Structure 1
Amino acid sequence: MSTRELALPVELPTGAASVPVTVRDADAGAWAMVALAHGAGSGREHPFLVGLAEALAPLGISTARFDFPYRAACRRLPGPAAHAVAAWAAVVTWARGEGVPLWAAGKSYGGRMASMAAAEGAIEPAGLVYLGYPLHPPGRPDRARVAHLTAVAQPQLFLSGTNDPFVQPVAQLEAAVASCRDAVLTWVDGAGHSFEVKGRRRAADEVGAGLAPLVAAFLRERR
């Protein structure tokens, strides 16, 4: 197992900062890299992301798990969206030197920030993967975060649980995905926002690992 720890410099509106990154190299012959961003309440070491990264490695996909600046500064709440976009830009710029196509992926908040960065043109990954896109706050379908998605030019994969309170009613997410230029929606039956399934106890790393085949299949299709 090959793992690297990096600290990438990033310029924020408030000054210089750094983005800590954990790179898990593919076991052999990497043909793609996936940058993995965490959700709002966790960090790059969350077992869900670690499990996904470990499961992608034998499939020929390297990963770069990173912390947003607020997390690196030991703050609990996300900072301005501009800070997250700058972090994404720093990671994608670094990844160009790895020599394989780079895909931007994120759990919940991390994926939404990737979509905003791509919509603004701050990053140009090969495509994007959303692990539980937070379409709206639970119980507030009137506050859908969809306006920018049509501006994303790259292929997009939305992985979402049918019991996720952030995408109820599910028809709203289906309509949002249909409005995108090039997007696919894959439902995980019975899963919630963290892809947990009621009545089925699984560790978070196992849950993350279970999504690896779906992610890898989409990347292969769009190579």
Structure 2
Amino acid sequence: MRIETSAGPAEIDIARPAKKPPAFLLLLTHGSGGGVDAKDLLAVRDSALESGGAVVLVTQPYRVAGRRAPGKADVQDAAWLEIITAVRRKFRGVPLIQGGRSNGARVACRTAVAAQAKGVVALSFPLHPPGKPEKSRREELLDVGDIPVVVVNGARDPFGIPDPADATEVKVIPGQAHSYRAGFDDIAATVTPWLLRWSA
């Protein structure tokens, strides 16, 4: 399904829990050059569905257009908020949680307050460009205010690992880099109890 935004069309894939109305709505998106088929995103999707939530995987406009780089943050964030507005019309009255991996995690953090999200799932949050710790993006994690954020990063991520004080929870997956090759059960185990609070 396509959603028109000020940055061009986005694509969404909706999955709903099998037996009852969703307890929450989770929007997830990809990293800069990736897609919504990343295994860590799918692990979180499956966890959310089992926890009673509806999940929308979002392919952002720049990827639909075939570009790998997201472009200006303000343009990307504006489009994301337009996507949220459109999707919320389909899921009225349920809490919104948003998240993504890498660049998608940054978008989810930057827009969390404006979107009135109840929580953020940040996979492989890129704390800084590789080899440039002085160019920290820590403020994006802190800009969420009181909104709880769960961060999952690989122990060998060259983009850095957020400090435990920078989020509600920071889980480090041993042996993994920025793109996970394993540890998907650990990701699900970290996210599941956090999501279940919205299913009570």
Question: What TM-score does the superposition give when structure 2 sets the normalisation length?
Answer: 0.85
**Structure of larger gyration radius:** 1
Q: What letter is aligned with 2:190?
A: L
Counterpart Cα distance in 1 of 2:189 and 2:82: 27
Query: SS at the partner of 2:11?
Result: strand
Counterpart Cα distance in 1 of 2:119 and 2:40: 21
Partner of 2:149: 156
Query: SS at the partner of 1:142?
Result: coil
Change (3 A) 1:42 1:117: same
Q: CA RMSD in A?
A: 2.2
User: Equivalences for 1:3-152 in 2 at 5 Å?
Assistant: 6-12=1-7, 17-29=8-20, 30-97=22-89, 98-99=91-92, 100-118=94-112, 121-152=113-144
Q: What letter is aligned with 1:24?
A: A
Partner of 1:194: 179
Greater shift, 51-60 or 72-81, is seen at 51-60
Give the superposition deviation at 1:52.
3.6
Give the superposition deviation at 1:137.
1.3
Could you report, residue by residue, the CA deviation over 1:45-83 in whole angstroms, capped at 9, with x for unpaired residues? 344434542343233222111111111111222221122
Counterpart Cα distance in 2 of 1:112 and 1:39: 9
Counterpart Cα distance in 2 of 1:43 and 1:195: 14
Runs of at least 4 residues off by over 6 Å:
none
Partner of 1:218: 194
Q: What letter is aligned with 1:193?
A: H
Could you report, residue by residue, the CA deviation over 1:5-24 in whole angstroms, capped at 9, with x for unpaired residues? x2222124xxxx22110011
Counterpart Cα distance in 1 of 2:23 and 2:107: 25
Structure 2 contact 29–104 (Cα < 8 Å) conserved: yes
The structure where helix makes up a greater share of residues is 1
Query: SS at the partner of 1:23?
Result: strand
Q: What letter is aligned with 1:9?
A: E
Change (3 A) 1:208 1:10: farther
Structure 2 contact 15–54 (Cα < 8 Å) conserved: yes
Query: SS at the partner of 2:114?
Result: coil
Could you report, residue by residue, the CA deviation over 1:149-202 in whole angstroms, capped at 9, with x for unpaired residues? 3221211111112121111xx5xx21xx5155xx221222222212335xxxxx
Long gaps (5+) in structure 1: 1-5, 198-206
**What is the number of residues matched between the two proteins?**
195
Q: What letter is aligned with 2:179?
A: S
Long gaps (5+) in structure 2: none
